[in-house]
Amino acid sequence: MSVQAPSFLAVISNATDGTLYSYLIQDGSLSLYRHQAAGDKAMPMALSPDKTTLFIHTRGEPPAFIHYSLFQQPDYLRDERCTRIADNLVHLSISPDGRYLYGVSYATSQLRVYDFTALKQGHLRLIQTLEDIPHAHCAAVSPDGQFIYVTSLSTGRVEIFRWQGQTLVAQGGITIAPGFGPRHLCFNRQGDRLYVISEFTGAVAAFHRCAQTGELTCDTVSARPQALAHLKDGFPRPNATAAVQPDPQLLKELCWASEIQVTPDERFVYIAERTSGQILIYHRNSEGALECCAQTDTEKQPRSIQLTPDGQYLLSCGEKSRTVSLYRVCTQTGELTLLGQCAGGEGANCIVITEIAG
């Protein structure tokens, strides 16, 4: 008896035209399901652990959270409620028990904790604000929900927070390296290893995580990839709304890595680098160190890449591209093979993928 291959729904938010584009990934093919209006500057998204609720943050005027319910076919994505907020967030995460939504603010260097259930009902309830995380960029929640790890782009640190009763408290952190510029981070499937991408160099750091204390111990920090040798090291950029912006010509010469993904078996790590328009592939060499083994040209200025939950496919979108690309992942070499492309929105920046009934 043959086993039916899993099918997936992929949702991409597009900041420039304020849309959501939904795609079906079935039997190695990518097809556009539909596109719908989402709101001005539709950007970070987060999917609830039970895969029934999608939250998106729109960063236009006024900023808002939009809550969507996910169903099975034919109506996969339904707009439910819009809740206005005063925050400008770059990343969203949801706790494994569905109690909290975490929002990261680059502009105010904060981690903000919201009541997830209240947001689903259209009410804004801010539970707590954690301050002084310079250029905060991403938050990853441990599998048990007790620890939250937040990158500080300008200090080169990953800050650690822990729930003590009903209060989230700072528990120190770890400095990776001067000028590392930690941007996004993700856990392996078991939650005992944390991977962090360097926005400034395209390097990758890996940490062992103690489940009891939340402490991180450095496992390995890769070298700067040779594929990015033609780019200068990046630096913290001002918020998009800041009056003074860097010289556009200078920005074309800087490394600007964006996203990181780890295969379920941890054999390969994928990162996206926007300036060169590449996906870089890392693996562990015979000594256990991470090294870049290959790279693939992809969409122009790739903001997000995401693996399907089974690790068989990788989807890529670019901020300056009107198409999205689906790749097959070779489980032996990590090589990416382009399977197809579909039309996309303008300013693509965030991808969420979930399994659906075939």
- What does the alpha-carbon distance between residue 135 and residue 85 come to, in Å, rounded to a whole number? 20
174 within a domain of the structure (yes/no): yes
pLDDT at 2: 52
Residue with tokens 């995401």: 306
Residue 1 has pLDDT above 50, yes or no: no
Of the CA atoms within 13 Å of residue 268, those in its CB half-sphere come to 22
Q: Where in the sequence is the domain holding 319, given as residue range(s)?
A: 7-356
Q: Give the model confidence (pLDDT) of 125-134 as tens digits.
A: 999 999 999 9
Give the chain's domain count.
Answer: 1
- What does the alpha-carbon distance between residue 150 and residue 148 come to, in Å, rounded to a whole number? 7
Residue 249 three-state SS: helix
pLDDT at 243: 84
Q: Give the model confidence (pLDDT) of 15-70 as tens digits.
A: 999 999 999 999 999 999 999 999 999 999 999 999 999 999 999 988 999 999 98
Question: Which 8-state DSSP code applies to residue 228?
Answer: G
Supply the mean pLDDT for the chain: 95
For the segment 82-96, the average pLDDT, to the nearest whole number, is 95
Q: Are the C-beta atoms of 327 and 20 separated by less than 8 Å? A: no
90 within a domain of the structure (yes/no): yes
Q: Give the model confidence (pLDDT) of 305-319 as tens digits.
A: 999 999 999 999 999
Question: CA torsion sign, 188 to 59 to 68 to 83?
Answer: positive
Residue 147 has pLDDT above 60, yes or no: yes
339 within a domain of the structure (yes/no): yes
16 within a domain of the structure (yes/no): yes
Distances 122 to 87, 100, 159, 284, 347 between C-alpha atoms, Å: 16, 14, 31, 46, 27
82 within a domain of the structure (yes/no): yes
2 within a domain of the structure (yes/no): no
Residue with tokens 């994928």: 270
1 within a domain of the structure (yes/no): no
Burial of 299 (0-12, 13-18, 19+ CB in 10 A): buried
The pTM score is 0.96
Residue 75 has pLDDT above 80, yes or no: no
335 within a domain of the structure (yes/no): yes
CATH code of the domain containing 177: 2.130.10.10
Q: Give the model confidence (pLDDT) of 155-176 as tens digits.
A: 999 999 999 999 999 999 999 9
- Cβ neighbours of residue 151 closer than 8 Å, sequence gap 6 or more: 136, 137, 138, 157, 158, 159, 182, 183, 184, 185, 196
215 vs 87, residue with greater confidence: 215
Distances 226 to 81, 144, 223, 263, 284 between C-alpha atoms, Å: 47, 37, 9, 22, 16
